[in-house]
A and B are shown apart, each in its own frame.
Chain A
Amino acid sequence: MSVERIGKIEEEAAAAIAGAGDTAELEEARVRFLGRKAELTGILRGISDLDPSERGEVGSAANRAREAIEALVAGRAGELEREELGRSLETDRLDVTLPGSPPRPVGHLHPVTRTRRLIEDVLVGLGYRVVEGPEVEHDFYNFTALNHPEGHPARMLQDTFYVEPSEDLDPSCGSGPMDVLLRTHTSPMQVRAMEDSPPPLFVIVPGKTYRRDSDATHSPMFHQVEGLAVGEGLTLADLKGTLLEMLRALFGPDREVRMRPHFFPFTEPSVEFDVSCFRCGGQGELEGGERCGLCKGIGWIELGGAGMVDPNVFGFVSEHGYDPDTVTGFAFGFGVERIAMLRHGMGDLRFLFENDVRMLEQFS
């Protein structure tokens, strides 16, 4: 009788435990099936009174049943706790749509800085070092050593800000009204860099430059990046490849570069370089047949100047290991603002320097 009864008790207990709706009901079920007055407890207690032939069978069945019921109670208790916690958390709600607090303001780098860093990173990746030079500069570095002889009309190509002679300037400065100036390009650093370290030399020079000019596309102050590569066997084809890599990194992998012969006193041959338009894909017109406004229908966007370093420039640094007969080099330069404006579709260059936070906060 007992063994069947034990099985029955186990079934009843399982049903009662599963049906317990909260911890109180569960406790009630536990007491009912496992408490001191419970039937199973009674059976266990009475085992010693049984016939020895039954003891083993009934004893082990009763113990198994007790363990099983205990496990069911523990399992159900866990379930009920989770349910109850869930219910209590359900009522403890936040409006997650409220703003974060306190509102940490987010700062922004200026688009010129962002763009300058981007260019630096691209050229660093191509194996260039970054060097910087002074903005208040000797005529010697800005013009003379860049093969703009005194009285050369090329000096007039760049409308120059001159610095008033003063005893406050370095004693190495001439006292003439045109001896010291605000550099009109980052190119003076070409000569300084070559004076500083022998070839092979791969440097870029980011920095502020100045020209006496002010309208929507000309600012009296702007930023340039200059590149200079000097070594044995460098060619114009190397310049083209370098520009191509750089422009693809800046404007997309499908871009092409175009070089148009030009004139700069400190490079020979000299070129201006263009990038194929990234809006119309160099077609000059948009999908609907409309003329592309970015490249003005030309398919190319003018970016900067470049060329092979003129041997006369090496002549100024020949004592520093730059023998025009053994080394060649190329140089390139372009405006940082122009790149920034093209990348972000900005119109007026001068607005960049007004530092309107509504402009600054657009770039991340």
Chain B
Amino acid sequence: MRVPVSWLAEYCDPGLEPGDLARRLAMTGTEVERVSGRMGGDTGRFVIGRTLEVGPHPDADRLSVCEVDDGTGTRTIVCGAPNVAAGQTVVVALPGAVMPSGMEIGEAELRGVLSSGMICSEAELGLGDEDDGILVLEDGPEPGTPATEVLSLDEPVLELEVTPNRPDCLSIYGVAREVHAVTGAELADPPWDGWIDPGPEEVSGLASVRIDDPQLCPRFTLRVFTGVEVGESPAWLKDRLVSAGQRPINNVVDVTNYVMLLTGQPLHAFDLDRVPGGELVVRAAIEGEKVETLDGVERELPEGTVVVCDRDGPTAIAGIMGGASSEVSTGTTSVLLEVATWDGPGILKSSRELGLRSEASNRFEKGLHPALASRAQAIASRLLVEVCGCEAVPGMVDEGAGMPEEGSVRLGVGTTARVLGMEIPPATQEESLERLGFAVEAGEAGFSVLVPPDRAFDVTREIDLVEEVARVADLDAALPATLPATSGGGLSREQALRRTAEDAIVAAGFDEAVSWSFTSADSIATLGLDPTGDPRARPVAISNPLSEEQAVMRTTLLTSLVDAASRNLARGTGGVRLFESGRIYLPPAGNDEAGGSFPGDRPAPAFEPLMLGALVCGDLVPGDWRGDGVSADFFSLKGVLEQVAGSIGVSIEVIPGTEPFLHPGKAGRVLVDGQDVGWMGELHPSVGSAFGLGPSVAFEVGLERLVAASPSGQESFVEVPSFPPVERDLAIVIPETVGASEIEAALRKAGGDLLEEVVLFDRYTGEQVGEGLCSLAFSLRFRAPDRTLADQDVDPLWETIVESVESIGGTIRG
């Protein structure tokens, strides 16, 4: 909302600098985006000039070529005004100046002569009606003087950011009342004062309205004006509109806009002769109906849009925009003036469905009280007669459900202090409310407060009055800062463990990515997931995405990680070690626990488990001057995963099992306590190349599942054995198809309680052991908790161990 300070001052003038006023308003709930000038652009581009020479244009009869002194030098300006002559003091718009009409002045060639700027007329400067010639000033100001020092070009305008609960501040008088409330400066009587309801009288013969559904239209008023002369508005009116950011159109339309800006109540003028019989009907649009709106666009009306119809169908979209068929134009002689009240949510819905917002819809959608209609009629009736030389037909058509009952709200004596934690004297509270337009009746238990129609939708409860009192009370300066008594905050055990795991992977040399939750359907498709069986192939889809790249929610961290990795590689980073700790979004079916469950009565629409994912492309540990580093292969990443799980006391197991996006031979499922928590492996070469990555390894595990398995903080101490161990090595040859973990399990089973530790310390495949076989060397450590073991204690176990190795296809070597 643009509020020209001079217009505001007509109703309330606190005598403050605009900047100071803006600060006062900002501290009482009305944000002032900025204080700008009426011209919108930089008024410094308008300067006083003197015409030095004026000669005819060589190529155009009606143009003159003027040499103008602008204070810094002489510039050539082509001018079309008949009254231009040498030796005049004029206003020059230099290139870069923006006219009130919005036109930007540049350098342009006019019929072969380069014109650099413009000599302005009164009308062009928005200063008056005179547009027959340039504005010639009295001599005096030197060329180069800023025009603002001579003319009032630069009226300050407050640009307010009005919150949706305050449609009253979308009006000059509403803002004036607010300024009155926060500064105490006197408020002029409302401009609609003195209005006497004219009753139906004569007008009923000329115009009528039928409201099909009073829900949609609480009030509809009509007046008729005859003998209208449509033309340009007087300068003061155009000036007001321009300052407030509205383009002047013609006197009738300008009056409706002016009244809307003043009162906050939109109006609409029809050409009565283009509304057959003056008969209007308010109803909901039926499917397929169309109307051409004032902006010249033919619009198909969504079913249910409220329309104002004449005999031929819709002639305006209620509360949003008038129709072209009944538009007031130069030929108009009779005007039908509609001032109506519409259902706010309905207007909001229609305006969204139509993709059409207007000054009117912006006000109606926030909810206006029917009482405002009379105010607008009062001022508009007077102005139309004044400005358009017409006559008002006595009487007003006034249909609708009648005025809603006036609401009175109680404000208890202690309520304000109870909510704010600060006492505001009752007299101050009362004064604040009254300045804001509330009628206050003081009683024993507090105030009984009558809410004015302007605030009817915003202020309905006691707490709303507390806010009114609080915001006017210079809340910030006066309010003490206290701390409530709390009891025992903290991170949950799970949250703390999650941090530990994240810190562990950072310690392993990984950088954390925080990525978009969005991805593209294409990106997911690249993973080759089974479209019917795999829930990750069925992402949560956004119906109004910003782009295809961000059209669905990610179902795996892998898409985010490859994306970040490939961006880094494209920017010249040699390799990356990235991890992400974040949510993925999956269909909830069958996933009701272990992650992604949230407090609250209604289940989450999607399953959103927290995952921990990592990807390495390049070296895990870079090589250096002493030798090679650790390349990013399956085992080095598995080591990282073991380390991360180990940081919260969890041991993982990896068994064969693949994913479509992984190298089929270098992939595994990650198990914790036998439960599948995720995958790890080398990226499938075709997936890697689709994202521009070289050989990469990655994993993704359910972080909540990992944390759930953690014994951290719940461990029970096991006595540390003090007797010496017996150590023996075991070399076996076994088919490669037997997994190392299977062998280890067999060894442990056979070794029983005395077998304390099994470590694989060598693995060999090659000619010496034969095709399909491998040689594995384990070191075994035996220990008893209660005595020193002797060889004869271990020997029987050793036999069992040898047997168990043989039972799974192995032979003992050496």
Residues of A with Cβ closer than 8 Å to B? 98-99, 101-110, 112-113, 117, 120, 123-138, 140-141, 149-154, 156-157, 161-164, 166, 168-170, 172-173, 177, 180, 182, 189, 191-193, 195-197, 200, 202, 208, 210, 212, 214, 220-221, 229, 231, 233-238, 240-242, 244-245, 257-263, 268-271, 308, 310-311, 328, 352-358, 360-361
Question: Complex: how many Å from CA A103 to CA B509?
Answer: 10
Q: Take A102-B623, A107-B507, A120-B491 as given contacts and tell me if A262 and B29 are in contact as well, using a CB distance cutoff of 8 Å.
A: yes
Judge if B163 is at the interface, Cβ distance under 8 Å: yes
A221 touches B518 (CB 8 A): yes
Is the contact region of chain B dominated by helix, strand, or loop, or is it mixed?
A: loop
The chain A residue with its CB closest to the CB of B509 is A105
Q: Mark B553-589, 1 if CB is under 8 A from A, else 0.
A: 1000000000010011001010011110111010111
The chain A residue with its CB closest to the CB of B541 is A164
B486 touches A126 (CB 8 A): yes
Question: Smallest distance from the beta carbon of A266 to chain B beta carbons, Å?
Answer: 12
Question: Complex: how many Å from CA A104 to CA B514?
Answer: 23
8 Å CB contact of A140 from B513, B577, B602: B602
The chain B residue with its CB closest to the CB of A150 is B345
Q: Which residues of B contact A244 (CB under 8 A)?
A: 481
Q: Which residues of B contact A202 (CB under 8 A)?
A: 484, 486-487, 489
> In B14-67, which residues have CB < 8 Å from any A CB?
26-29, 31
The chain A residue with its CB closest to the CB of B581 is A113
Question: Complex: how many Å from CA A262 to CA B348?
Answer: 22
> In B591-624, which residues have CB < 8 Å from any A CB?
596, 598-606, 608, 620-624
Question: Complex: how many Å from CA A125 to CA B538?
Answer: 41
Q: Take A107-B505, A134-B608, A242-B483 as given contacts and tell me if A259 and B419 are in contact as well, using a CB distance cutoff of 8 Å.
A: no
> In B184-225, which residues have CB < 8 Å from any A CB?
none
Question: Complex: how many Å from CA A170 to CA B592?
Answer: 11
Flag the segment in B260-268, B333-341, B469-477, B654-662 that touches A: B469-477
The chain A residue with its CB closest to the CB of B28 is A261
The chain B residue with its CB closest to the CB of A208 is B517
The chain B residue with its CB closest to the CB of A308 is B419
A135 touches B470 (CB 8 A): no
Question: Complex: how many Å from CA A308 to CA B479?
Answer: 14
Question: Complex: how many Å from CA A200 to CA B488?
Answer: 11
Q: Take A124-B489, A172-B602 as given contacts and tell me if A102 and B622 are in contact as well, using a CB distance cutoff of 8 Å.
A: yes
B621 touches A110 (CB 8 A): no
The chain B residue with its CB closest to the CB of A121 is B491
**CB-CB nearest 5 A-B residue pairs:** A151-B345, A127-B486, A235-B421, A237-B421, A192-B600
Question: Could you pull out 27 A-B pairs where Cβ atoms are within 8 angstroms?
Answer: A102-B621, A103-B624, A107-B505, A107-B508, A107-B509, A110-B514, A117-B499, A130-B495, A131-B599, A140-B602, A151-B346, A154-B165, A162-B543, A164-B542, A166-B540, A169-B606, A191-B600, A220-B516, A220-B518, A236-B421, A258-B476, A261-B475, A263-B29, A268-B464, A311-B461, A353-B516, A360-B511
Q: Which residues of B contact A189 (CB under 8 A)?
A: 599-600
The chain B residue with its CB closest to the CB of A234 is B484
The chain B residue with its CB closest to the CB of A109 is B512
Q: Which residues of B contact A192 (CB under 8 A)?
A: 598-601
Q: Take A138-B602, A358-B573 as given contacts and tell me if A153 and B164 are in contact as well, using a CB distance cutoff of 8 Å.
A: yes
Question: Smallest distance from the beta carbon of A300 to chain B beta carbons, Å?
Answer: 10
Judge if B81 is at the interface, Cβ distance under 8 Å: no
Judge if B813 is at the interface, Cβ distance under 8 Å: no
8 Å CB contact of A269 from B467, B484, B626: B467
B585 touches A135 (CB 8 A): yes
Residues of B with Cβ closer than 8 Å to A? 26-29, 31, 163-166, 344-346, 348-349, 352, 365-366, 418-422, 461, 463-464, 466-467, 470-471, 475-476, 479-484, 486-492, 495, 499, 502-503, 505-518, 535, 538, 540-546, 550, 553, 564, 567-568, 571, 573, 576-579, 581-583, 585, 587-589, 596, 598-606, 608, 620-627, 629-630
Q: Which residues of A contact B481 (CB under 8 A)?
A: 237, 240-241, 244, 257
Q: Take A102-B626, A156-B164 as given contacts and tell me if A137 and B604 are in contact as well, using a CB distance cutoff of 8 Å.
A: yes
A127 touches B489 (CB 8 A): yes
Question: Complex: how many Å from CA A126 to CA B727?
Answer: 55
Besides A108-B512, A109-B512, 15 other A-B contacts (C-beta < 8 A): A110-B513, A128-B489, A129-B492, A136-B605, A154-B165, A161-B542, A168-B589, A170-B588, A200-B487, A237-B421, A237-B422, A241-B484, A269-B466, A269-B471, A360-B513
Question: Smallest distance from the beta carbon of B494 to chain A beta carbons, Å?
Answer: 10
Question: Complex: how many Å from CA A108 to CA B503?
Answer: 9
Question: Complex: how many Å from CA A137 to CA B603?
Answer: 9
Question: Smallest distance from the beta carbon of B587 to chain A beta carbons, Å?
Answer: 4
Question: Complex: how many Å from CA A260 to CA B467?
Answer: 12
B27 touches A261 (CB 8 A): yes
Q: Which residues of A contact B625 (CB under 8 A)?
A: 98-99, 101
B516 touches A113 (CB 8 A): no
Question: Complex: how many Å from CA A109 to CA B579?
Answer: 9
Question: Smallest distance from the beta carbon of B246 to chain A beta carbons, Å?
Answer: 22
8 Å CB contact of A107 from B31, B476, B506, B542: B506
Question: Smallest distance from the beta carbon of A356 to chain B beta carbons, Å?
Answer: 6
Q: Which residues of A contact B538 (CB under 8 A)?
A: 166, 168
B542 touches A182 (CB 8 A): yes
Q: Which residues of A contact B165 (CB under 8 A)?
A: 154, 263
A237 touches B567 (CB 8 A): no
Q: Which residues of B contact A113 (CB under 8 A)?
A: 502, 512, 514, 581
Which of B506, B508, B577, B602 has the largest count of A CB atoms less than 10 A from its CB? Answer: B602
Q: Take A169-B606, A235-B421, A356-B568 as given contacts and tell me if A130 and B492 are in contact as well, using a CB distance cutoff of 8 Å.
A: yes
Question: Smallest distance from the beta carbon of A322 to chain B beta carbons, Å?
Answer: 13
Q: Take A214-B546, A311-B461 as given contacts and tell me if A137 and B626 are in contact as well, using a CB distance cutoff of 8 Å.
A: no
Q: Which residues of A contact B470 (CB under 8 A)?
A: 236, 261, 269
B514 touches A168 (CB 8 A): no
Q: Take A107-B506, A235-B420 as given contacts and tell me if A154 and B29 are in contact as well, using a CB distance cutoff of 8 Å.
A: no
Q: Which residues of B contact A311 (CB under 8 A)?
A: 461, 463
Q: Take A192-B598, A212-B546 as given contacts and tell me if A221 and B517 are in contact as well, using a CB distance cutoff of 8 Å.
A: yes
A236 touches B419 (CB 8 A): yes
B163 touches A263 (CB 8 A): yes
Question: Smallest distance from the beta carbon of B158 to chain A beta carbons, Å?
Answer: 16
B624 touches A102 (CB 8 A): yes
Q: Take A135-B608, A221-B516, A237-B480 as given contacts and tell me if A105 and B543 are in contact as well, using a CB distance cutoff of 8 Å.
A: no
B29 touches A196 (CB 8 A): no
B507 touches A105 (CB 8 A): no
Q: Which residues of B contact A124 (CB under 8 A)?
A: 489-491
Question: Complex: how many Å from CA A130 to CA B488?
Answer: 12
Question: Smallest distance from the beta carbon of A174 to chain B beta carbons, Å?
Answer: 10
Q: Which residues of B contact A153 (CB under 8 A)?
A: 164, 344, 348, 365-366
B622 touches A129 (CB 8 A): no
Question: Complex: how many Å from CA A177 to CA B499?
Answer: 38
A169 touches B29 (CB 8 A): no
The chain B residue with its CB closest to the CB of A201 is B486
8 Å CB contact of B576 from A140, A220, A258, A357: A357
A170 touches B598 (CB 8 A): no
Q: Which residues of B contact A238 (CB under 8 A)?
A: 421, 482-484
B608 touches A361 (CB 8 A): no
Q: Which residues of B contact A166 (CB under 8 A)?
A: 538, 540-541, 587
Question: Smallest distance from the beta carbon of B241 to chain A beta carbons, Å?
Answer: 25
B487 touches A193 (CB 8 A): no
Q: Which residues of A contact B623 (CB under 8 A)?
A: 102
Q: Take A221-B517, A259-B479 as given contacts and tell me if A195 and B601 are in contact as well, using a CB distance cutoff of 8 Å.
A: yes
B164 touches A270 (CB 8 A): no
The chain B residue with its CB closest to the CB of A101 is B626
Question: Complex: how many Å from CA A269 to CA B487?
Answer: 26
Q: Which residues of A contact B29 (CB under 8 A)?
A: 260-263
Question: Smallest distance from the beta carbon of B610 to chain A beta carbons, Å?
Answer: 9
Q: Which residues of A contact B583 (CB under 8 A)?
A: 135, 208
Q: Which residues of A contact B543 (CB under 8 A)?
A: 162-164, 177
Question: Smallest distance from the beta carbon of A195 to chain B beta carbons, Å?
Answer: 5
B489 touches A102 (CB 8 A): no
